[in-house]
């Protein structure tokens, strides 16, 4: 058995209803190896399945959120047919099928797969020391887990294209201005800020938060007309929840709602 310090992803399950997942390969700047990403997916799936948990925070260590997919590990695959056969990085999509909200706390490098992982989370809180980029072009490859797709939706074509084609990094301030991150906070406070956001979300109805997340994410995949229709269906669907009734009745009675999470 591994001691906790050897775990690739540390889990801090808090009584406030959230779990903090810490990527833990600091010596490799949290390079996202297959085993690390499998551990992260498994732990996020456990959060999803755990009724006592309402949201998660994903963070890194030291100077890196994550400096990308593991270059040395990927380099051990030598041909197109190898990576095709293994469907390299396909298992990363597990992160985007988590239904509970995930807040990324980025305190340092979020490069390549690290930037893509942060973008797979729902909200990014960055410290002033955070740096974002898609440097794959410097390695003779291109982003493989959303860097050409989620980034353009986050910051628009010209900026996304510049990052992907030059490999240059965005500072935290630039990332905030571009809309990639929701907020920049002083160095060392990003985890607390992300935890506070996750705890705020955890204070609401879990099924409602999940419907809201699903709806916002649907906007990335649908036309406006389809998205509006999808939203209206899920909005109406909240009338099937005890929590919708509780929230409205509490407002009318001027009291705090007591969510049943159903
Ligand atoms: N994979 C494997 N190992 C990595 C790594 C990565 N992505 N990033 C850093 N490391 C390792 C380094 O090899 C080094 O290991 P050793 O001590 O064994 O030599 C250790 O982490 C520390 O890194 P540096 O000495 O390089 O640290 P630095 O402070 O001088 O530089 C850095 C920091 C600029 C982030 C630099 O490490 C770097 O450029 N890393 C690679 C960034 C990158 O190209 N990411 C994209 C990967 S490809 C990808 O992610 C594809 C995709 O779309 C999924």
pLDDT > 50? residue 244: yes
Count the alpha carbons within 13 Å of 157 in the hemisphere toward its beta carbon: 0
Q: Which residues contact 75 (CB under 8 A, 6 or more apart)?
A: none
CA of 71 to the centre of ligand 1 (A): 7
Q: Which residues contact 237 (CB under 8 A, 6 or more apart)?
A: 211
Torsion, Cα 213 169 114 84, to 10 degrees, reads 100
Write the CA distances from 61 to 9, 32, 144, integer angstroms.
Answer: 11, 13, 23
pLDDT in tens, 74-124: 999 999 999 999 999 999 999 999 999 999 999 999 999 999 999 999 999
pLDDT > 50? residue 167: yes
pLDDT > 50? residue 17: yes
pLDDT > 70? residue 218: yes
Bridge partners (DSSP) listed for residue 105: 59, 125
CB contact at 8 A, 147 and 136: yes
For residues 37-57, give the mean pLDDT.
Answer: 97
pLDDT confidence of residue 24: 98
pLDDT confidence of residue 41: 98
In whole angstroms, what is the distance from residue 241 CA to residue 204 CA? 13
pLDDT confidence of residue 208: 98
pLDDT confidence of residue 262: 94
DSSP 61: B
The length of the chain is: 262
pLDDT in tens, 178-194: 999 999 999 999 999 99
pLDDT confidence of residue 178: 98
Q: Give catalytic residue positions.
A: 69, 113, 116, 136
pLDDT confidence of residue 1: 41
For residues 201-230, give the mean pLDDT.
Answer: 97
Q: Would the pTM of this model clear 0.90, i.e. be above it?
A: yes
Residue nearest to atom 11 of ligand 1 (CA): 28
Collapsing DSSP to helix, strand or coil, 213 comes out as helix
CB contact at 8 A, 9 and 39: yes
Ligand 1 environment, Cβ below 6 A: 28-29, 31, 67-72, 89, 109, 111-113, 116, 135-136, 139, 143-145, 147
In whole angstroms, what is the distance from residue 230 CA to residue 236 CA? 10
The interface predicted TM-score (ipTM) is 0.98
Collapsing DSSP to helix, strand or coil, 98 comes out as coil
Task: Specify the ligand 1 atom closest to the Cα of 70.
Answer: 1
Find, among 170, 118, 178, 125, the residue nearest to 152 by Cα: 178
pLDDT in tens, 129-163: 999 999 999 999 999 999 999 999 999 999 999 99
Query: Which residue from 26, 71, 109, 144 has its CB within 8 A of the most atoms of ligand 1, so it is best to mutate?
Result: 71
pLDDT > 80? residue 5: no
Find, among 222, 202, 227, the residue nearest to 102 by Cα: 202
pLDDT confidence of residue 2: 45
pLDDT confidence of residue 6: 75
């Amino acid at each position: 058995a591994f001691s906790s310090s050897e775990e690739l992803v540390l889990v801090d399950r808090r009584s406030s209803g959230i779990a903090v997942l810490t990527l833990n390969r600091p010596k490799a700047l949290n390079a996202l190896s297959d085993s690390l990403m499998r551990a992260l997916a498994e732990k996020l799936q456990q959060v999803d399945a755990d009724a006592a948990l309402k949201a998660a925070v994903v963070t890194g260590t030291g100077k890196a959120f994550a400096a990308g997919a593991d270059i040395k590990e990927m380099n051990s695959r030598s041909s197109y047919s190898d990576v095709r056969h293994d469907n390299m990085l396909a298992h990363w999509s597990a992160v985007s099928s988590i239904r509970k909200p995930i807040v990324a706390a980025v305190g340092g490098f979020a490069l390549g797969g690290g930037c893509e992982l942060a973008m797979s989370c729902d909200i990014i809180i960055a410290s002033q020391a955070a740096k974002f980029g898609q440097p794959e072009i410097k390695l003779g490859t291109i982003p493989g887990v959303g860097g050409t797709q989620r980034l353009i939706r986050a910051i628009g074509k010209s900026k996304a294209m510049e990052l992907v084609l030059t490999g240059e990094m965005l500072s935290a301030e630039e990332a905030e201005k571009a809309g990639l991150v929701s907020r920049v906070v002083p160095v060392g406070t990003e985890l607390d800020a992300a935890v506070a956001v996750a705890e705020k979300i955890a204070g609401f109805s879990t099924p409602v938060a999940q419907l809201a997340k699903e709806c916002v994410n649907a906007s990335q995949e649908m036309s406006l007309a389809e998205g509006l229709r999808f939203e209206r269906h899920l909005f109406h669907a909240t009338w099937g929840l005890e929590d919708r009734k509780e929230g409205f009745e509490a407002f009318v009675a001027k009291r705090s709602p007591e969510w049943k999470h159903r």
